[in-house]
Amino acid sequence: MTTLSSSTSTLLVRLTCSGIRFSLSRRVHLWLDTASRDGEKAESSVVDGVAVCRPGATELDVDALCDKDGDVTICGIMEHIEEAGVHSGDSACSLPPQTIPEETLAEMRNWTTRIAKALKVVGLINVQYCIRGGDLYIIEANPRASRTVPFVAKAVGHPIAAYASLIMSGKTLKELNFTEEPKVLPLSLAVPASCVVLCCDGVAVM
């Protein structure tokens, strides 16, 4: 990541291409360096609104399964170790959460279930939350498999992706005998830098 500053603001930018340049004003001008080695002109676009994350918040992921009958099972809740704003693909995570009150976790389970039913999800759903100052916010809901699924599956000992495939083919959570949130080991950690899951009784390579 690169931090670029102007006289009035600081912008944290994730580099997702070969290069990027910024001109900070009332609008943000992005030049995505897609130029070829032959010197083609780089593409330019203008962003009118910029979302800025305030530091000090905690981000969490909830993975759940929902079947054709509208039944929902929470697969796992992951707490990001880095503060909200660090991309979920770069943040280390713990399962179960270590610093979140049980009443907040219960609220997250309730909202995840309600969202999955409202969206009529059949299969996996990932809901991202943010906690700041004791307040719970929903960042986004994705009715699909998330990058967190392989880690959650290893931590809880269930083939979550396989369950999702069977549910999308017409099976129900009752038929799969997966109707309750699974118990997990005392602590599992996802460490993206080394692609390793650390468990209390050993190390499993993802």
Under-50 pLDDT residues of the chain: 1-38, 41-46, 194-206
CATH code: domain 58-205 is: 3.30.470.20
| Domain ranges, ordered by start, for the chain | 2-47, 58-205
pLDDT at 105: 95
Distance of alpha carbon 27 from alpha carbon 48, whole angstroms: 5
Tell me the DSSP string of the chain: -EEEE-SS-EEEE---SS-EEEEESSSEEEEE----TT-PPPEEEEES----PPSS-EEEEEEEEE-TT--EEEEEEEEEEEETTS-TTTS-EEES-SSS-HHHHHHHHHHHHHHHHHTT--EEEEEEEEEETTEEEEEEEESS--TTHHHHHHHHTS-HHHHHHHHHTT--TTTTT--SPPP--S-EEEETTTTEEEETTEEEE-
**By the 8 A CB rule, do 91 and 82 touch?**
yes
User: Three-state SS string across 120-148, please?
Assistant: CCCEEEEEEEEEECCEEEEEEEECCCCCC
pTM: 0.68
